[in-house]
């Protein structure tokens, strides 16, 4: 009810409230066993893929760099387990394409401790040193976008950052990995925030937490109090109203500060840098130990999972292994019909279980057929101009008109007059459309066509 | 792995609302209104509701079957058109004319444009406009509500043979020993005789001897249900009622002798029904929130102007039809401003570079009116 949102003072006016289904919010993070074999795709992040620096047959130990590049928008990869490099070449990837990957077979009986790290003291390190150290960990945004963290945290010379915004929203239904990380790794998170503040020069950090996770905030406030007064500046943990897509940078900044970010601009234009809690918590752990990123927390849930939960998963673990462990008998019995990497609003449905867990995978959702909210079985109607999509688009676009133009293939008009480029594909419009029109899908196609035309 | 896992693109979940649920709830909300209407006017009204709705459904079925229009029968939209159309016709309206109205409503109001979602004009009003032009006498003939014997006896004009002149309602009323003038609607009485009905009669439609239509209070109540459950947009009715009241009040204040009070304006005739159920027809109203305000305000203004300055007693129908025609234009000029664009434009005018380095919080906050959160020190 939009009328109420004015009175409730919601953070931003639009957006949707999908049922949150956070089934795993109360369960501790558990470690998934080491798989016999891992596949490390070289391209796991936005930016150029690094080159392998190991040979087939070479022995590697857990934590050892196995791929590296000097490109700015590229991060190294580290061996997720100790073993032998078995294969370097094309392997199926998430999006149905084949990706150059490194396959490592585990040493049977290896303890699988992190063997490569060099503990170091970063208390005197400058921002540049910390950025370099972050780069060396191979860290990318663990929230899903997988943007290299060192690039995100580096501030251009002419700009100045005053605030580090820490994104603890996790607005996607089903996902709870960030929530669990905030609760269980609060000290790591505070440490990570301190490093990020030093790297960016921010004198203040604000953790934005959706108000459906009040426990995370109280835990973090305790951790902040434990940390005492910091030389870097102050850290705050604040609640924001729960709403999808609060996790988007622009929406979070709007929710916290009431400031609209200029279209086409970055948070840095407002003197802010946004990073996700999972990323910073991992940094807080890896940086002092001098280790690389070899594992991440993944939410495995959905109606097709017998033992849902948040698991600490070795990067490169085959999805099939994860699902076997989490108890997805259905996959083999053929009644699991949908496997999604990421959240249900923006995640990627996959067609093969041979793909590995990569740095950007925050969740694995498995739905049985009868629980899927199958769009295709619904009748599709022409746009009845109900205006629901206009009211739900967080970017303030007019998806109804855009959809009609897309149907007429007026892609240029969509881009020029109706701001197609501002759409960040959150899917709110498709979610609410009673006529079941695949709006965001049409917009993706339209954007792709416009990109091709421009190229 | 042979599992036929299904792949489709995000979002993988979907909201609960569908076209069918929206339409079904609109029908539900219309049922109490129809029931009260039948209570007021008896079996003639019931027959009228049934016949008109059936005509709409049959016509819809024909056009859907022949592939002329999109949608399907089970989407309930034809039921809504039928019920609304019947509610706007006088209860003693000859049934065959009602059937013609239903046919025209769907055929010319909807199928012609391609079916659900494509129509430019509200189909019920297209049907009503057609019969108003074709059968001007019949449509102006109202009988009083709460006649005794209304549940056992049809109003004779209801059962007129097709293409025959319907029985004279005035004569029939005389036989029944009723003041023939009581059969005029409050608006017609005001327009032609200068009599202003009192408020309670208008609101509840409970007075006998007065040909008021469906009860406005009940309509408002049912409309509130729809708006609260978000099956209808609350902006349009609010804008219509607000703008009609404002216009009427201005004129009333200007010359109370010539113009009736705004309350009479709002609750006589079909204004409330039109505002709640006709103007809010999704396909024919703008999608943009700002556009809805403009559209509603336009209808309110036009209604009052037509009522005062034209030869017709009733103005809602034409006001809505005109606004329907203007709706694409209204939508065009009220496109929403995308997130971050207003800031950007202001920046541009102020010739800021896009990335001006350090912008203070105050400066950044200054471009939007509200600052919602200022961090406080965490409690130790
Ligand atoms: S997908 Fe694009 S158009 Fe649709 S709601 Fe999100 S931003 Fe708006
Ligand atoms: S939500 Fe769907 S039906 Fe409603 S206006 Fe948007 S596109 Fe049209």
State if residue A437 touches ligand 1 by the CB under 6 angstroms criterion.
Answer: no
Domain check: are A424 and A439 in the same one? yes
Cα A390 to middle of ligand 2, angstroms? 8
Q: What is the DSSP string of A106-173?
A: EPTT------S------TT--HHHHHHHHHHHT-B-TTTT--BHHHHHPPPTT----EEEEEE---SS
Domain with residue A200: its CATH number is: 3.40.50.11540
Domain check: are B215 and B169 in the same one? no
A250 or A20: which carries more pLDDT confidence?
A250
Residues A101/A41, Cβ–Cβ less than 8 Å: yes
Domain check: are B192 and B292 in the same one? yes
Q: Select from A255, A393, A431 the Cβ nearest to the Cβ of B13.
A: A431
Most informative mutation of A261, A399, A446 for ligand 1 (most atoms within 8 A of CB): A399
Domain check: are A169 and A261 in the same one? yes
- Give domain status of residue B190, yes or no: yes
Q: How far is B105 from chain A (nearest CA, A)?
A: 18
Nearest residue by C-alpha to atom 1 in ligand 1: A425
Residues of B in contact with A172 (CB under 8 A): none
- Give domain status of residue A145, yes or no: yes
Residues of A in contact with B3 (CB under 8 A): 331-332, 334, 336, 353
A387 with B373: Cβ contact below 8 A? no
Total residue length of chain A: 455
- Give domain status of residue A202, yes or no: yes
Mean pLDDT of chain A: 85
Domain check: are B96 and B237 in the same one? no
A384 with B117: Cβ contact below 8 A? yes
pLDDT in tens, A210-220: 888 889 999 99
B88 or A455: which carries more pLDDT confidence?
B88
Q: Select from A9, A350, A365 the Cβ nearest to the Cβ of B7.
A: A350
State if residue A329 touches ligand 2 by the CB under 6 angstroms criterion.
Answer: no
| Residue of B23, B89, B104, B21 lying closest to B56 (CA atoms) | B104
B119 and chain A in contact, CB less than 8 A:
no
- The pLDDT confidence band at residue A316, using thresholds 50, 70 and 90, is very high
Most informative mutation of A392, A435, A440, A442 for ligand 2 (most atoms within 8 A of CB): A435
Domain check: are A267 and A306 in the same one? no
Angle at the Cα of B92 from the Cα atoms of B88 and B98, rounded to 5 degrees: 60
A424 and chain B in contact, CB less than 8 A:
no
Count up the domains in chain A and report the number. 3
- Give domain status of residue B359, yes or no: no
B335 and chain A in contact, CB less than 8 A:
yes
A21 marked among binding-site residues:
no
Nearest residue by C-alpha to atom 4 in ligand 2: A386
Domain that holds residue B241: 185-334
A105 and chain B in contact, CB less than 8 A:
no
Domain check: are B136 and B92 in the same one? yes
Pairing verdict, β A65-68 and A77-78 = antiparallel
Domain that holds residue A42: 32-108+294-372
- Give domain status of residue A226, yes or no: yes
pLDDT in tens, A82-110: 999 999 999 888 777 888 999 999 988 77
Cα A298 to middle of ligand 1, angstroms? 26
Domain check: are B286 and B257 in the same one? yes
A237 and chain B in contact, CB less than 8 A:
yes
- Give domain status of residue A383, yes or no: no
Say what the pLDDT of residue A72 is. 85
* Cis-peptide, bond into residue B11, ω within 30° of zero: yes
Domain check: are A256 and A143 in the same one? yes
State if residue A392 touches ligand 2 by the CB under 6 angstroms criterion.
Answer: no
Domain check: are B118 and B226 in the same one? no
| Residue of A132, A183, A169, A145 lying closest to A27 (CA atoms) | A183
Say what the pLDDT of residue A220 is. 92
Domain check: are B218 and B152 in the same one? no
Cβ-based neighbours of B274, under 8 Å, separated by 6 or more: B240, B299, B303, B316, B317, B319, B320
pLDDT in tens, A38-53: 999 998 888 888 999 9
Domain check: are A422 and A446 in the same one? yes
Domain check: are B157 and B215 in the same one? no
Nearest residue by C-alpha to atom 5 in ligand 1: A393
- Give domain status of residue A242, yes or no: yes
Average the pLDDT over A150-164 and give the result: 87
Domain check: are A39 and A158 in the same one? no
Domain check: are B91 and B150 in the same one? yes
- Give domain status of residue B306, yes or no: yes
- Give domain status of residue A263, yes or no: yes
Domain check: are A50 and A129 in the same one? no
Of A372, A396, A427, which closes a domain?
A372
Q: Which of A9-18, A190-199, B72-81 has the highest mean pLDDT?
A: A190-199
Of A237, A259, A289, which closes a domain?
A289
- Give domain status of residue A274, yes or no: yes
Domain check: are A97 and A226 in the same one? no
Q: How far is B311 from chain A (nearest CA, A)?
A: 34
Domain check: are B247 and B154 in the same one? no
Domain check: are A161 and A266 in the same one? yes
State if residue A73 touches ligand 2 by the CB under 6 angstroms criterion.
Answer: no
Pairing verdict, β A204-210 and A234-240 = parallel
A318 or A12: which carries more pLDDT confidence?
A318
- Give domain status of residue B268, yes or no: yes
Angle at the Cα of B144 from the Cα atoms of B139 and B146, rounded to 5 degrees: 130
Domain check: are B176 and B193 in the same one? no
How many CA atoms are closer than 13 Å to the CA of A260, on its beta-carbon side? Answer: 24
A409 Rama sector, left if φ>0, alpha if ψ -120 to 50, beta otherwise: left
For residues B365 and A440, what is the distance between their CA atoms, to the nearest angstrom?
31
pLDDT in tens, A377-401: 677 888 999 999 999 999 989 999 9
State if residue A414 touches ligand 1 by the CB under 6 angstroms criterion.
Answer: no
- Give domain status of residue A165, yes or no: yes
Say what the pLDDT of residue A197 is. 92
Asked if this assembly's ipTM is beyond 0.85, the reply is: no
Domain check: are A313 and A171 in the same one? no
Of A236, A259, A289, which closes a domain?
A289
- Give domain status of residue B367, yes or no: no
Say what the pLDDT of residue A48 is. 86
State if residue A403 touches ligand 2 by the CB under 6 angstroms criterion.
Answer: yes
State if residue A433 touches ligand 2 by the CB under 6 angstroms criterion.
Answer: yes
- Give domain status of residue B371, yes or no: no
Domain check: are A128 and A172 in the same one? yes
Domain check: are B189 and B310 in the same one? yes
Domain check: are A330 and A413 in the same one? no
Walk along chain B (380 residues) in steps of 10 and give the mean pLDDT of each run. 63 85 93 90 90 94 81 81 92 89 93 87 94 85 74 77 65 58 64 68 58 78 92 93 93 84 81 92 92 95 88 84 93 85 49 33 38 43
Count up the domains in chain B and report the number. 2
Residues B341/A263, Cβ–Cβ less than 8 Å: yes
- Give domain status of residue B353, yes or no: no
């Amino acid at each position: 009810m939009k009328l109420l949102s004015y009175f409730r003072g919601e953070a931003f006016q639009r957006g949707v409230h999908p049922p949150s289904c956070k089934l795993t919010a109360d369960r501790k993070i558990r470690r998934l066993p080491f798989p016999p074999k891992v596949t490390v795709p070289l391209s796991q992040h936005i930016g150029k893929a690094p080159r392998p620096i190991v040979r087939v047959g070479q022995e590697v130990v857990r934590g050892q760099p196995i791929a590296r590049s000097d490109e700015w928008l590229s991060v190294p990869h580290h061996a997720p387990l100790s073993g032998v490099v078995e294969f370097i070449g094309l392997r199926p990837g998430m999006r149905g394409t084949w990706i150059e990957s490194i396959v490592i077979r585990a040493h049977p009986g290896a303890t699988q401790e992190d063997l490569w790290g060099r503990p170091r003291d970063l208390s005197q390190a400058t921002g540049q040193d910390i950025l370099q150290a972050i780069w060396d960990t191979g860290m990318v945004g663990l929230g899903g976008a997988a943007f290299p963290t060192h690039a995100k945290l580096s501030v251009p010379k002419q700009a100045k950052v005053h605030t580090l915004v820490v994104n603890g929203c996790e607005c996607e239904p089903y996902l709870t990995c960030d929530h669990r990380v905030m609760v269980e790794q609060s000290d790591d998170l505070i440490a990570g925030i301190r490093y990020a503040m030093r790297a960016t020069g921010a004198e203040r950090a604000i953790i934005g937490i959706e108000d459906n996770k009040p426990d995370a905030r109280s835990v973090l406030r305790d951790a902040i109090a434990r940390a005492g007064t910091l030389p870097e500046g102050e850290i705050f943990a604040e609640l924001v109203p729960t709403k999808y897509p609060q996790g988007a940078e622009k929406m979070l900044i709007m929710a916290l500060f009431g400031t609209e970010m200029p279209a086409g601009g970055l948070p840095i234009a407002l003197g802010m840098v946004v990073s996700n809690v999972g990323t910073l918590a991992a940094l807080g752990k890896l940086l002092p130990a001098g280790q690389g990123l070899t594992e991440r927390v993944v939410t495995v849930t959905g109606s097709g999972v017998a033992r849902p939960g948040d698991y600490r998963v070795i990067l490169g673990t085959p999805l099939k292994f994860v699902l076997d462990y989490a108890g997805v008998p259905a996959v083999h019995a053929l009644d699991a019909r949908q496997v999604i990497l990421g959240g249900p609003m923006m995640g990627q449905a996959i067609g093969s279980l041979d793909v590995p867990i990569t740095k950007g995978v925050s969740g694995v959702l498995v739905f049985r057929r009868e629980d899927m909210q199958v769009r295709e079985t619904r009748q599709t109607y022409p746009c009845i101009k109900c205006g629901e999509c206009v009211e739900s688009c967080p970017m303030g676009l007019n998806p109804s008109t855009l959809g009609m133009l897309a149907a007429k293939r007026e892609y240029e008009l969509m881009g020029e007059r109706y701001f197609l480029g501002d759409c960040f594909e959150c899917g709110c419009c498709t979610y609410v459309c009673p006529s079941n029109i695949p709006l965001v899908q049409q917009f993706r196609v339209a954007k792709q066509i416009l990109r091709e035309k421009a190229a | 792995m042979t599992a036929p896992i299904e792949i489709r693109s995000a979002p993988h979940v979907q909201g609960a609302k569908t076209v069918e649920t929206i339409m079904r709830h609109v029908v539900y909300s219309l049922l109490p209104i129809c029931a009260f209407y039948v209570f007021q006017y008896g079996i003639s009204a019931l027959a009228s509701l049934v016949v008109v709705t059936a005509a709409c459904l049959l016509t819809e079925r024909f056009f859907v079957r022949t592939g002329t229009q999109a949608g399907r029968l089970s989407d309930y939209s034809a039921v809504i058109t039928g019920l609304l159309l019947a509610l706007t016709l006088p209860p003693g309206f000859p049934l065959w004319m009602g059937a013609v109205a239903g046919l025209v409503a769907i055929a010319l109001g909807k199928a012609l444009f391609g079916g659900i979602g494509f129509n430019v004009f509200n189909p019920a009003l297209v049907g009503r406009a057609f019969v108003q032009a074709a059968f001007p006498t019949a449509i102006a003939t109202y009988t009083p509500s709460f006649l005794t014997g209304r549940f056992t006896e049809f109003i004779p004009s209801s059962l007129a043979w097709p293409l025959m002149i319907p029985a004279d309602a005035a004569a029939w009323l005389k036989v029944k020993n009723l003041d023939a003038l009581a059969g005029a609607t409050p608006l017609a009485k005001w327009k032609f005789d200068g009599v202003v009905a009192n408020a309670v009669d208008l609101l509840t439609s409970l007075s006998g001897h007065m040909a008021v239509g469906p009860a406005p209070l009940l309509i408002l109540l049912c409309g509130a249900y729809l708006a609260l459950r978000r099956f209808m947009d609350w902006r349009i009715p609010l804008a219509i009622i607000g703008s009609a009241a404002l216009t009427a009040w201005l004129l009333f204040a200007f010359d109370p002798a010539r113009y009736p009070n705004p309350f009479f304006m709002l609750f006589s005739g079909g204004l409330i029904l039109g505002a709640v159920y006709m103007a809010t027809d999704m396909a024919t109203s703008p999608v943009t929130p700002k556009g809805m305000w403009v559209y509603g305000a336009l209808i309110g203004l036009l209604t009052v102007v037509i009522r005062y300055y034209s030869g017709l007693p009733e103005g809602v129908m034409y006001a809505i039809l005109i606004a329907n025609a203007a709706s694409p234009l209204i939508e065009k000029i009220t496109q929403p401003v995308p997130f971050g664009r207003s800031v950007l434009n202001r920046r541009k005018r102020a010739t800021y570079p896009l990335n001006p380095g350090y912008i203070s919080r105050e400066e950044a906050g200054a471009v939007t009116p509200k600052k919602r959160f200022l961090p406080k020190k965490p409690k130790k």
